[in-house]
């Protein structure tokens, strides 16, 4: 089976840096994805890692350690609009040759002034 864990909620101050952790257990690992989801809206793709290391994309960075089953999303220079849920999702290559995403429950980030 698959298991994805991330904190339920976090609070951070505007202008600060926040790190959202995600641990996972899966077979057929084929990448880890981070999505942002505002309440009532669709998940929006932020970043992904297939290989170990850090991927930087503007104010967002994501890190992966496959041996540890661990990833984090780093948000810098926090803005009020960053208040949202951040979804960790593991992509798995199935025996049927297709890809599917398995999502964690999401971390609700509240940015305060």
Partner 1 sequence: EPEVTQTPSHQVTQMGQEVILRCVPISNHLYFYWYRQILGQKVEFLVSFYNNEISEKSEIFDDQFSVERPDGSNFTLKIRSTKLEDSAMYFCASSSYMLTRDGNQPQHFGDGTRLSIL
- Find the shortest distance in angstroms from Cβ 16 to partner 1: 27
Region of 97 on the Ramachandran plot (φ > 0 left; ψ -120 to 50 alpha; else beta): left
C-alpha span between 50 and 30 (Å, rounded): 6
Question: Nearer Cβ to partner 1, position 7 or 31?
Answer: 31
Output the DSSP codes for 15-60: T--EEEEEEEE-SSEEEEEEEEE-TTS--EEEEEESSSEEEEETTE
Task: Using CB under 8 A, count the residues that bind partner 1.
Answer: 27
Question: Nearer Cβ to partner 1, position 15 or 53?
Answer: 53
- Find the shortest distance in angstroms from Cβ 81 to partner 1: 18
Torsion of CA 110, 85, 7, 57, to 10 degrees: -90
What residues between 47 and 76 interact with partner 1 by CB under 8 A? 48, 50-51
Site string (74-93) toward partner 1, x via CB under 8 A: -------------x-x-x--
Cα of first residue to Cα of last residue in the chain, in angstroms, is 41
In the list 104, 107, 109, 111, the residue contacting partner 1 (rule: CB under 8 A) is 104
Chain positions contacting partner 1, by CB under 8 A: 30-31, 33, 35, 41-45, 48, 50-51, 87, 89, 91, 94, 96-106
């Amino acid at each position: 089976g698959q298991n994805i864990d991330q904190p339920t909620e976090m609070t951070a101050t505007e202008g600060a840096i926040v790190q959202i952790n995600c641990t996972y257990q899966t077979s057929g690992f084929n990448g880890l994805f981070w999505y942002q989801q505002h309440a009532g809206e669709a998940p929006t793709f932020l970043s992904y890692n297939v290989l170990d290391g850090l991927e930087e994309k503007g104010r967002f960075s994501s890190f992966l350690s496959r041996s540890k089953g661990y990833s984090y999303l780093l948000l810098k220079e926090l803005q009020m609009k960053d208040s949202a849920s951040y979804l960790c999702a593991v992509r798995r290559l199935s025996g049927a040759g297709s890809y599917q995403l398995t999502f964690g429950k999401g971390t609700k980030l509240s940015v305060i002034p």
